[in-house]
């Protein structure tokens, strides 16, 4: 889909382990610019999730992230937003659309450029349930410069503390070691206010009718920290030769975040 020289050039920006990851990263960046340069989409969708964290706040980007997660800002029919996404992302072809009560997903499929050709998938998931924020939205500048595509935009997103709060929730609710890694990396950012993070986490959980006390969270993590799939989740996502020990990461996350719940 993308000239090989453009992928090689982008590898100077992101040092992922495979050409397919570098190519998909480039596609993601172009898609982000396309979405947030559209007036309608830029006002209706707030960027959230791992890709938002790594593209906007953690630099240089420490791990590969393959999807785009957004949140519908206000409660309204989602069809006009989906139709506009199809239009601005037409360079990716026609997506498969999966609709559920609380989220809608667009899945674009393309083939990689560099042999061996591998099918690639870009998933854009719209959260259509959480029409709220705790700390207020933030607008962050984003740009991409490459021979295949160059552009810039202003992205509607969440403040770092609130973004990390949703990661604390994700670490509790799902079994993906990348959430632990993301929190570990975020804690190395001097701008993070852990008191704010936990306050936001509690508000998000309260909205779901949940109240996980510290002991429940620790028990949840004790189980995950013996699960090989959880511990090995980041193996193909990190920059080559980066040393990462999930047990060391957990001790930091436990001390600075979980123990404050």
Give me the pLDDT at residue 191, please: 86
Q: What are the distances in angstroms from CA 201 to CA 157, 165, 204, 224, 255?
A: 17, 5, 5, 20, 16
Give me the pLDDT at residue 54, please: 97
End-to-end CA distance of the chain: 47
Q: What is the pLDDT along the chain (261 residues), one digit of tens a residue?
A: 799 999 999 999 999 989 999 999 999 999 999 999 999 999 999 999 999 999 999 988 999 999 999 999 999 999 999 999 999 999 999 999 999 989 999 999 999 998 889 999 999 999 999 999 999 999 999 999 999 999 999 999 999 999 999 999 999 999 999 999 999 999 998 889 999 999 999 999 999 999 889 999 999 999 999 999 999 999 999 988 889 999 999 999 999 999 999
> Taking the model in full, what pTM does it have?
0.96
- Structure letter (DSSP) for residue 91: G
> Strand ranges (DSSP E) for 35-136?
45-48, 68-72, 96-99, 103-111, 119-127
Give me the pLDDT at residue 77, please: 95
Which residue is listed with tokens 């026609």?
94
Count Cβ atoms within 10 A of the Cβ of residue 22 and give its class: 0-12 exposed, 13-18 middle, 19 or more buried: buried
Give me the pLDDT at residue 190, please: 82
Q: Which of 152, 125, 157, 143 is nearest to 48 (CA)?
A: 157
Give me the pLDDT at residue 1, please: 79
Give me the pLDDT at residue 57, please: 96
3-class state of residue 6 by DSSP:
helix
Which domains are delineated in the chain?
A: 4-158 (3.10.450.620), 161-260 (no CATH)
What is the spatial distance between Cα 2 and Cα 91, in angstroms, rounded to a whole number?
11
Length of the chain: 261
Give me the pLDDT at residue 101, please: 86
Q: What is the DSSP string of 139-193?
A: EEEEEEE-SS-EEEEEEEEE-HHHHHHHHHHHHHHS--HHHHHHHHHHTT-TT--
């Amino acid at each position: 889909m993308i000239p090989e020289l453009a992928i090689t050039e982008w590898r100077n920006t992101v040092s992922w382990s495979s050409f397919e990851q570098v190519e998909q990263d480039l596609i993601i960046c172009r898609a982000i610019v396309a979405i947030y340069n559209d007036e309608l989409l830029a006002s209706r969708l707030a960027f959230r999730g791992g890709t938002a964290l790594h593209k906007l706040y953690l630099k240089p980007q420490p791990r590969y992230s393959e999807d785009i997660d957004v949140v519908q800002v206000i409660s309204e029919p989602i069809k006009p937003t989906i139709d506009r996404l199809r239009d601005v992302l037409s360079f990716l072809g026609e997506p498969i659309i999966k609709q559920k009560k609380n989220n809608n997903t667009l899945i674009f499929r393309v083939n990689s450029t560099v042999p061996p050709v591998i099918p690639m998938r870009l998933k854009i998931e719209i959260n259509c349930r959480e029409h709220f924020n705790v700390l207020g939205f933030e607008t962050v500048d984003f740009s991409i410069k490459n021979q295949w595509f160059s552009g810039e935009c202003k992205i509607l997103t969440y403040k770092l503390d609130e973004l990390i709060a949703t990661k604390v929730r994700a670490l509790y609710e799902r079994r993906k070691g990348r959430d632990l890694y993301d929190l570990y990396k975020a804690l190395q950012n001097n701008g993070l206010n852990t008191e704010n993070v936990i306050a936001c986490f509690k508000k998000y959980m309260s909205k779901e009718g949940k109240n996980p006390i510290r002991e429940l969270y620790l028990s949840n993590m004790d189980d995950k920290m013996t699960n090989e799939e959880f511990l090995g989740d980041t193996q193909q996502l990190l920059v080559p030769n980066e040393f990462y020990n999930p047990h060391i990461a957990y001790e930091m996350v436990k001390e600075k975040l979980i123990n404050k719940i």
